[in-house]
Amino acid sequence: MRKIPSDMTPRRKAAVILTVLGPELAAGVVRHLSDDQVEILSLEVARMEKIGHDQRAQIIEEFHQIAQAQDFIAEGGIDNARKVLEAAFGEERAGAMVRKVLTAMQVVPFEFLKRADPQQLLGFIQDEHPQTIALILAYMPVNQAAMILTRLPELLRAEVAERIAAMDQTPPEVIRGVEKVLERKMHNILNTEMTKAGGPKALVDLLNRVDRQTERLIIENLTENNPELAEEVKNMMFVFEDIVVLEDRAIQSVLKEVDGKDLATALKGVGTEVQEKVFKNMSERAMNMLKEDMDYMGPIKLRLVEESQQRIVAVIRRLEESGDITIGRGEADVLI
């Protein structure tokens, strides 16, 4: 079996792994990478020459061993992982695997906190023990750690700073133990915040900002899987066809704000009820011109119709937010 060339970099090996996974699985991996990482790996894949079967097998085996070692370290700490790996692969190979995890895979303590917003992180850690805060800041990027330190309460700031200065080497097991506790706490907090931020209103706000096709698909799936929730969401939404529930004065206010071409395009995709509701709120001359524009257009792509409808709905929502019109779901609820 041919050995892996000594000049093969970790990024080249990662590119080999991606090609082995195939397009679908590789796409799932790439979604978790940063733009820079995707660019680097894409370049490596493009540059890659033919890799022999033996070399490819060795790279896969190395990747598998590193993944095993990382799992062992995550579960039981570096020392325990080394013992398990030594029993499985021997002392020399176990040492090499641990070193690869700590270098090539860059297992850095508190990595999950580094992606957090500094202000959010400040609120999260300031109630922890000063020694814990000191340990976290010692592993944070300097600029981020400095920002958090300066915003701590004065007495706490001084104590944390002193503990950072007096800090010596910390056993990996202690670091990992603290990391596990913090990761679990932060996960619970984020889940709680997500629950509070969710609900039908949150979905409506989201649907109001997506294209009509996406909106329609989501509503159809929701109707099939949870009809009651779908009805609640639809009752909170306003779509272009809901113009029929607006009072005449509200429609007249909307017509003053919308583009004539958008209106003609939007009406191409609705039934006669919606069209007549709009026509009756226009002068005869304006209505005839609009109908002529619609006839002159001929067949038009659904995407363009939906985009025009979306822009008009945006005008309606803007007028509602400014208090110029009031949107209701039934005639008795419509107020101007």
Predicted confidence at residue 178, as pLDDT, reads: 77
Task: Determine the angle formed by the axes of helices 130-139 and 118-125, rounding to 10 degrees.
Answer: 150
Task: Look at 2 and 149; give whichever has higher pLDDT.
Answer: 149
Among 72-81, 121-130, 135-144, name the one with the lowest average pLDDT.
72-81
Buried b (16+ CB within 10 A) or exposed e, 170-201: eebeebbebbeebeeebeeeeeeeeeeeeeee
Return the residue matching tokens 């206010």.
253
Among 105-114, 146-155, 235-244, 278-287, name the one with the lowest average pLDDT.
105-114
The Cα 18–Cα 329 span in angstroms is 52
pTM score of the predicted model: 0.37
Residue pLDDT, tens place only, 254-281 = 999 999 999 999 998 888 899 999 999 9
- Whether 252 and 281 have beta carbons less than 8 Å apart is answered as yes
- Give the whole-number percent of the chain exceeding pLDDT 90: 12
- Domains belonging to the chain, first-starting first, are 10-103 (no CATH), 111-192 (1.10.220.30), 198-237 (1.20.5), 238-333 (1.10.220.30)
Q: Please, which pLDDT band fits residue 186 given cuts at 50, 70 and 90?
A: low
Give the residue from 2, 3, 26 showing the smallest Cα distance to 16.
Answer: 26
